[in-house]
Structure 1
Amino acid sequence: MTINDIYKHYSDTIEKYQGRSGALKKTIFQIGTARLAIFIVCCIVTYLYWNDTSTVVTNIVISIVVFLALMKYHNSLYKQKLYADKQIENASNELKGLEYDFSAFDGAEEKIDAEHSFSLDLDIFGKRSFFQSLNRTVTSFGKDKLADSLINPQENKDKILSVQSAIKELSKNPALLAHFISIGQMTEMDKLNTKDFSVSFSQKPLLANSLLWKYLLYIIPLIHIIAGISIFLDYIPGSYYIYVYILTLVISSIPLKQVKQIMNTFDSKSKVLETYSELMTLIEHEKYGSAYLQNIQDELKKPSSASQAIRQLQSYYNNLTVSATFPVFLLFNPYLVWGVRYAIKVEKWTQVHKNDINRWFNTLSEFDALVSFAIFAFNHPDYTYPTPSDKFIFEGEALGHPMLHRDKCVRNDVRISKTPFFLIITGANMAGKSTYLRTIGINHTLACAGAPVCAESLTFYPGRLVTNLRTADSLADNESYFFAELKRLKMIIDRLQSGEQLFIILDEILKGTNSEDKQKGSIALMKQLISLNSNGIIATHDLILGNLEKEYPDNVKDYRFEADITDDNLTFTYKIREGVAQNMNACFLMKKMGITGL
């Protein structure tokens, strides 16, 4: 499949659902017109035959039945149209994404963390971030799972391979991915906070353990049956029934506070529960070849179907909510103790499934995150799945940054095949050093997550990535830029000394001090990193660091990004080359901008 095939897929999807949405809109209008006509005809017939009671009653009953049937059909059509419109919207957003406009997606700005080992440096979160380009999750906990898979890289080789297999399989089924997302967008999923929802299940039951109310569920209806039979057989006067009704109404109203408290556990979240059930149904009923996806499916099927259980809870909750409405409160509560009956059913449900609910939602979050990775894989047919290694290695051909336009992205190779080993990258301003470092970092992150990478090939060790590309000072902490950088470097040294194997990417070591201190400090740091048996890439303007290759020929390799000055014009190839940089461009650029005091 080529990128043109991807464009065509989304264009065809838009065309298909636009036709369906238009047809549904027309039918919905016709159903609405029919409902209005039935109402008008009912009124006319009622007026004309007002003195014929049987005709009027029959007319009203038939009109109500037909009206309600059409209303149910109308709601079904409206839901189908909403689904079609979501498919159109999502396909349109994917077409924009193929042109690197990801504004329609959530970048999770709230997850930006300057203290994290690499996420801030690699622009993982925020506006125009990599997460924004990747994120297609429809649940808040799926979004958390997706973010976690990036900021807490997987280190287990077998787990990475199993996730790769799952993403490969899902990416070949774009219809399933689109269906999952569109269903998930049918309601506002964030209305249900699953953490609070789960915690509520650990609370002591208010009614379910009460023997009194368990017996009253049977006794009260029996009282009405006995009273009715007694009146029918003339054992008691019919007027006495009003006392039976008032008594049972009062009794059924006693636990009203507890019933409302149980009802508030869900707080008008019935539609969200319905959507969760539909998403789980989709996962449960699909056939999977990947063992990872089969495990996800199995988790939703034990001890019983999660989708059916959630649907049952939704039904209980709907009936519980109805108990608070005026007609049900007066008619069903006195006879069937309706509110208490369904409050107990809800509490029993929570007791039965209190150990399942976290597992179900966690499983759903895993699938939700996989959908995002699968769409990413589908949208990038030229990307490749990297090979994880048992020992440190990071070797790749034609690596590019996934946020750079495919037509403009210049790809470069990388080779680190032993430990300890560092690449020292020198070069002019704007020549491509920082972009190269971020390219390495983001592809390492993707590789550890089990996703395809922007490369022709990549073999990697799923170790722990640490970067220092964007250190900032902090006025709030009274912390200078230099001190912030030192803290970052100390963190790296401490982790290495504790035995961690890190993949280190640094851009311009010790930027916050003078040139002489910087050179001495940079060389000392590099020697310490080598002595601690670490690996990584260092970008610098200090050409003196290029001498380290002579001192450590087995542990250091020099590479450069050059700025070529020809006929008073500055050009960049953005291609990495061996050796130490020859051309620097700061003075040239300053003269070009009219700063001539050099």
Structure 2
Amino acid sequence: MNTNASKSFIKRDLNATKDKKRNFKQIKTLFNLSEKNEFTLDDQTWDDLIMDEVFHEVDRTYSTEGEASLYEMLRNPIMDEEKLKERGKLIDLFKEDLDLTVDLRQILYNMIYDSKNRLIEMLNEFLSVSKLKYYLYSILGILPIVTILAAIIFKEPNFMMILMVNIFVNMYFHNKENDTINVIGLVYLRDLINAAKKLSGIKNHEIKSYTIKMKNLLKELSNIDKSTYLLKVLNSFGGLLEVFSIPFLIEEITYYRISGKLLGEKDKILELYYLVGELDALTSVAIYQINNAEKCSTPKFIKETSLKITEGIHPLLKKPVANSVDISKKGIVLTGTNMSGKSTFLRMISTNILLAQTFNFVLAKGYEGCFLNVVSSISPKDDIVNGKSYYLAEAECILRIIKASENEIPVFCPIDEIFRGTNPLERISSSAEILNYINKRNGICIVATHDRELSDMLKENYDFYYFSEDVDSKVGLKFDYKLKKGISKTRNAIKLLEYIGYPKEIIKNSYKRVERMEGYV
């Protein structure tokens, strides 16, 4: 549990990066329960864009609810400009009104951090309902008190033997129910309710939609609120008081008294969870923007299927090299050798699209484009992927993009090394047809490739850009990471072998072989 924090501490902490270990299996539990749509970022695209690391960079949340909500937002881009502007307006409010932000974050900081997201786990998987057990444990729980009173009134020592048996039986049931009863989940529920009460009491017209919803939900959850109060007390002080609840089966009685109510109010609890989490997530994004103000700008959305990014950068680069891109009717083919910046460029564009469509800001000097559904094929894969050959796995991956290009919202599809590992003739032929097919439909496609042969096949529907580098015997690889117009003409693979110390015989004969092959072609 976090200790109570002062406002001065919260203000100082606005500039701090939350460098903590994050368990994404737990963080994504809310997303797993939430409703998906055709624009929800699929697992392939999320992994391609290394969004776990982007999340780590942007995340300044304090609460479990905030983490889960931030993740859910990033996985679900908004395709409605008005809704997106409303979210952006709230983020701007938190950037400008730091007193409000500090008030909100002080409440969020003082919440219990549920590292295993046990509240969601309890609601989703381990909720057991039994009226019979409730009545049984109620009787067994009150017997110790009755027995003690009887011993005092009747002055009969034998009642103490009955008391010992009763406590032994109750301890047995407590241990037996230990795996079933998720008391910690109930404690976190109580903590969520307490935080929502405090948040809903903040007077600010701009967040009124949140506070009103919270108040209404709290009224509907009032019975659960009262029922969980004793558990909150028992689990205070590091759980030291919990031992006193065992003889009276307080946890078991409380759990089975309200488990049915929890099941019935699951959706309302999740809504309250998300409302609290969303405030944490939006203040987190606001703080990220404050700390990166010189890099951020507001996107402009247009109806025409096009995308223009001016001096865009990727959030994970400590010393980023800015690049610009302007795509409308033609897609882009990127050429250049490995490590020259192609994959990072694809991720830079994709990540900025997602930031624009989730939080209404970009890491660029300018951004103008339509709403885009991001579906990618970037990550390097092994020869065998999930029991399938690399080619079959990638073919299925590309098919996702083709299907997305047939929808109303244009698809943005970054593709890295399409069908590598396949024989060159079939790879180049099928790649050209696929890329032309996507471009003729509702999509913006950028493909990074080593196949310069694609240039003639795609020149009607694609523009050509490249990244380059130099290799010399003293410095080694030198990259400028700047996008250039045209097709890469350089081959540096043999120079690189020479630089790292391959035998001169191999280097010399390799150059001769290249000359013969080029002469043959």
TM class by smaller structure = 0.7 to 0.9
User: Is 1:511 matched up with 2:420?
Assistant: yes
Offset of residue 495 of structure 1 = 3.5
Q: Contact 1:189–1:272 at 8 Å: present in 2 too? A: no
1:135 to 59, 72, 79: 59
What is the Cα-based RMSD across aligned positions, in Å? 5.0
Q: Contact 1:373–1:451 at 8 Å: present in 2 too? A: no
Residues 269 and 476 of structure 1: is their aligned pair in 2 closer, same or farther, counting only changes over 3 Å?
closer
Q: Contact 1:425–1:561 at 8 Å: present in 2 too? A: yes
Please state whether the residue corresponding to 1:467 is helix, strand or coil.
Answer: coil
Residues 122 and 86 of structure 1: is their aligned pair in 2 closer, same or farther, counting only changes over 3 Å?
farther
Distance 1:480 1:202 in 2: 43
1:104 alignment counterpart? 20
Correspondence list, 1:32-181, <5 A: 79-80=3-4, 83=5, 87=9, 91=13, 95=16, 97=17, 103-106=19-22, 108=24, 116-125=43-52, 129-172=53-96, 173=98, 175-176=102-103, 178-181=105-108
Residues 208 and 446 of structure 1: is their aligned pair in 2 closer, same or farther, counting only changes over 3 Å?
same
2:300 to 363, 387, 399: 387
Q: Contact 1:139–1:189 at 8 Å: present in 2 too? A: no
Residues 341 and 437 of structure 1: is their aligned pair in 2 closer, same or farther, counting only changes over 3 Å?
closer
Q: Contact 2:63–2:108 at 8 Å: present in 1 too? A: no
Gap regions ≥5 residues in structure 2: 33-40, 512-521
Bigger mean CA offset, 274-283 vs 348-357: 348-357
1:431 to 337, 340, 354: 340
Please state whether the residue corresponding to 1:505 is helix, strand or coil.
Answer: strand
2:498 alignment counterpart? 591
For the pair shown, the structure with the greater C-alpha radius of gyration is 1
2:269 alignment counterpart? 357
Structure 1-normalised TM-score? 0.64
Per-residue CA deviation, residues 222-258 of structure 1 (Å, 9 max, x unaligned), is xx9xxxxxxxxxxxxx97798xx99xx9xx99x989x
Distance 1:514 1:568 in 2: 36
Gap regions ≥5 residues in structure 1: 1-77, 225-237
Per-residue CA deviation, residues 412-434 of structure 1 (Å, 9 max, x unaligned), is 1111234xx30122234433222
2:36 alignment counterpart? none
Offset of residue 504 of structure 1 = 0.8
Q: Contact 1:549–1:558 at 8 Å: present in 2 too? A: no
Offset of residue 476 of structure 1 = 6.8
Distance 1:91 1:503 in 2: 37
Correspondence list, 1:534-553, <5 A: 534-547=443-456, 550=459, 552=460
Per-residue CA deviation, residues 99-123 of structure 1 (Å, 9 max, x unaligned), is xxx7524262778999724111111
Please state whether the residue corresponding to 1:558 is helix, strand or coil.
Answer: strand
Residues 503 and 302 of structure 1: is their aligned pair in 2 closer, same or farther, counting only changes over 3 Å?
same
Bigger mean CA offset, 361-370 vs 376-385: 361-370
Q: Contact 1:317–1:346 at 8 Å: present in 2 too? A: no
Amino acid at match of 1:167: I
User: Is 1:314 matched up with 2:228?
Assistant: yes
Residues 306 and 430 of structure 1: is their aligned pair in 2 closer, same or farther, counting only changes over 3 Å?
same
User: Is 1:560 matched up with 2:466?
Assistant: yes
Correspondence list, 1:183-202, <5 A: 183-184=110-111, 186-188=112-114, 190=116, 192-197=118-123
Q: Contact 2:129–2:256 at 8 Å: present in 1 too? A: no
User: Is 1:461 matched up with 2:388?
Assistant: no
1:376 alignment counterpart? 288
Offset of residue 360 of structure 1 = 1.4
Per-residue CA deviation, residues 483-531 of structure 1 (Å, 9 max, x unaligned), is 3222212232233346663111112222112333333233222222223
Distance 2:430 2:256 in 1: 70
Structure 2-normalised TM-score? 0.73
1:410 alignment counterpart? 321
Q: Contact 1:87–1:178 at 8 Å: present in 2 too? A: no
Offset of residue 155 of structure 1 = 2.1
Q: Contact 2:224–2:258 at 8 Å: present in 1 too? A: no
Per-residue CA deviation, residues 387-441 of structure 1 (Å, 9 max, x unaligned), is 2334433211110011001xx21101111234xx301222344332221111111
Per-residue CA deviation, residues 184-211 of structure 1 (Å, 9 max, x unaligned), is 3x5546463235247788946559999x
Offset of residue 301 of structure 1 = 0.9
Residues 298 and 548 of structure 1: is their aligned pair in 2 closer, same or farther, counting only changes over 3 Å?
farther
Offset of residue 545 of structure 1 = 2.9
Q: Contact 1:198–1:357 at 8 Å: present in 2 too? A: no
Residues 165 and 107 of structure 1: is their aligned pair in 2 closer, same or farther, counting only changes over 3 Å?
farther
1:21 alignment counterpart? none
Please state whether the residue corresponding to 2:388 is helix, strand or coil.
Answer: coil
Per-residue CA deviation, residues 366-389 of structure 1 (Å, 9 max, x unaligned), is 223323323322221121122233
Distance 2:335 2:253 in 1: 75
Offset of residue 286 of structure 1 = 2.7
Distance 1:466 1:164 in 2: 24
1:296 to 181, 194, 210: 210
How many residues are paired up?
476
Distance 2:193 2:154 in 1: 47
Distance 1:116 1:165 in 2: 29
Distance 2:448 2:246 in 1: 73
Q: Contact 2:210–2:275 at 8 Å: present in 1 too? A: yes
Per-residue CA deviation, residues 308-340 of structure 1 (Å, 9 max, x unaligned), is 7775343244589999977997xxx9xxx9999
User: Is 1:367 matched up with 2:279?
Assistant: yes
Correspondence list, 1:6-25, <5 A: none
Distance 1:477 1:404 in 2: 31
Q: Contact 2:7–2:102 at 8 Å: present in 1 too? A: no
1:574 alignment counterpart? 481
Percent of aligned positions that are identical: 21
Distance 1:514 1:417 in 2: 32
Offset of residue 152 of structure 1 = 3.0
Offset of residue 448 of structure 1 = 1.7
Residues 430 and 369 of structure 1: is their aligned pair in 2 closer, same or farther, counting only changes over 3 Å?
same
Per-residue CA deviation, residues 469-494 of structure 1 (Å, 9 max, x unaligned), is 12413647443323322221223223
Distance 2:397 2:404 in 1: 11
1:488 alignment counterpart? 397
2:309 alignment counterpart? 396
Q: Contact 1:424–1:540 at 8 Å: present in 2 too? A: yes
Q: Contact 1:426–1:561 at 8 Å: present in 2 too? A: yes
Residues 108 and 89 of structure 1: is their aligned pair in 2 closer, same or farther, counting only changes over 3 Å?
farther
Residues 577 and 85 of structure 1: is their aligned pair in 2 closer, same or farther, counting only changes over 3 Å?
same
User: Is 1:280 matched up with 2:186?
Assistant: no
Distance 1:287 1:159 in 2: 23
User: Is 1:470 matched up with 2:391?
Assistant: no
